[in-house]
């Protein structure tokens, strides 16, 4: 049975602060015609410029995936893109009135909720897959990173992370059926190590963080004074380190939630290829830079076949 392209039935909005900029904005998903793909429109700017969700528009991958075109930027797009791909939405126009996507709880859960609220409808055109015919691989030998995709009748993803720390070492996660995306992957939140958190704070980043949108792993001895400083910054009465090595800011949904979140990021960044793919993706120690470099390699192979 031929799969059809899908859009949403009606527009729906999500409001929240950006993780790094703290800009509070509203993101609105709008229905779009067949073959539109995913497009972002900065409605706060003159002429309301549009940036396509295309890996050619990636301009930065530090702490998130940033798109840019004609001097206009959009930060932290990966969770929105993963949610659309995970829910099978091909065509949508996304209005945004600030520079950064809302971080919400650090996962794709609220975006999925909004997409479901809007309703998903089939359109009168076949879904245009890029079917992987030959293996494609991206490697970074220095960092020990490898991403590959092999022929497969469906879209499958396996992810392994490895951090060589006491509190978070090696974890794996898999998604072999997109029907499981909503329950198994979408709720999984971003994470950070405490030493990274301190560095980000010193660089005036994560201004929109409030300890409810990230899992914080503590892989060093922390003084009471340091914990008090973190609590004060995030306006919390007190923070503590749990026995498992995380701050007591959130409870884990899954033991391997970090690996599942990295899988969410892989799906989001690979959405920038411009077409859904049929292939089995395997990612070892992925990150936004490697994800988008891999997406470029796949897109290049796709264009060579057309």
Q: pLDDT (tens digit, 9 = 90+) per residue, 131-165?
A: 999 999 999 999 999 999 999 999 999 999 999 88
Closest to 54 measured CA to CA, from 43, 42, 39, 74: 39
Which candidate in 20, 79, 280, 288 is catalytic?
Answer: 288
Euclidean distance between CA atoms 95 and 79, whole angstroms: 16
Euclidean distance between CA atoms 214 and 201, whole angstroms: 14
How confident is the model over 93-103, as pLDDT tens digits? Answer: 999 999 999 99
Q: What is the DSSP letter of 151?
A: -
* pLDDT value at residue 102: 95
Please report, for residues 131, 233, 254, 285, the alpha-carbon distance to residue 197 in angstroms, rounded to integers and kept in the order given: 40, 11, 22, 20
What structural domains does the chain harbor? 4-127 (3.30.230.20)
How confident is the model over 183-192, as pLDDT tens digits? Answer: 999 999 999 8
Q: Over the chain, what is the mean pLDDT? A: 92
Q: What is the DSSP letter of 198?
A: H
* 261 is annotated as an active-site residue: no
Euclidean distance between CA atoms 104 and 26, whole angstroms: 11
Euclidean distance between CA atoms 288 and 61, whole angstroms: 5
Please report, for residues 14, 55, 193, 247, the alpha-carbon distance to residue 273 in angstroms, rounded to integers and kept in the order given: 25, 6, 30, 36
If one counts every other C-beta atom within 10 angstroms of the C-beta of residue 4, the result is: 15
């Amino acid at each position: 049975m031929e799969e059809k392209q899908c859009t949403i039935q009606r527009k729906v909005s999500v409001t929240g602060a950006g993780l790094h900029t703290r800009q509070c904005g509203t993101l609105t998903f709008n229905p779009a015609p067949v073959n539109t793909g995913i497009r972002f429109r900065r409605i706060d700017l003159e002429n309301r410029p549009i940036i396509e969700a295309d890996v050619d528009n990636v301009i930065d991958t530090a702490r998130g995936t940033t798109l840019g075109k004609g001097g206009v930027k959009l930060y932290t797009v990966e969770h929105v893109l993963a949610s659309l791909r995970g829910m099978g939405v091909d065509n949508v126009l996304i209005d945004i009135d600030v520079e950064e996507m809302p971080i919400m709880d650090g996962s794709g859960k609220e975006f999925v909720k909004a997409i479901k609220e809007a309703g998903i409808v089939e359109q009168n055109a076949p879904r245009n897959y890029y079917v992987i015919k030959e293996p494609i691989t991206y490697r970074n030998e220095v960092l020990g990173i490898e991403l590959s995709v092999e022929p497969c009748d469906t879209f499958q993803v396996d992810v392994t992370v490895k951090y060589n720390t006491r509190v978070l070492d090696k974890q794996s996660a898999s998604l072999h059926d997109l029907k499981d995306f909503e329950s198994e992957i979408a709720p999984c939140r971003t994470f950070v190590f405490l030493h990274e958190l301190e560095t980000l704070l010193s660089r005036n980043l994560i201004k929109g963080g409030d300890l409810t949108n990230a899992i914080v792993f503590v892989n060093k001895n922390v003084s009471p004074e340091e914990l008090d400083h973190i609590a004060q910054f995030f306006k919390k009465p007190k923070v503590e380190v749990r026995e498992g090595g995380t701050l007591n800011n959130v409870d884990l949904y899954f033991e391997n939630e970090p690996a599942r979140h990295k899988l969410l990021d892989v799906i989001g960044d690979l959405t920038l290829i411009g077409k859904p793919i049929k292939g089995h993706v395997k990612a070892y120690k992925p990150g936004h830079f490697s994800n988008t470099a891999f997406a470029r390699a796949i897109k290049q192979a796709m264009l060579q076949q057309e």
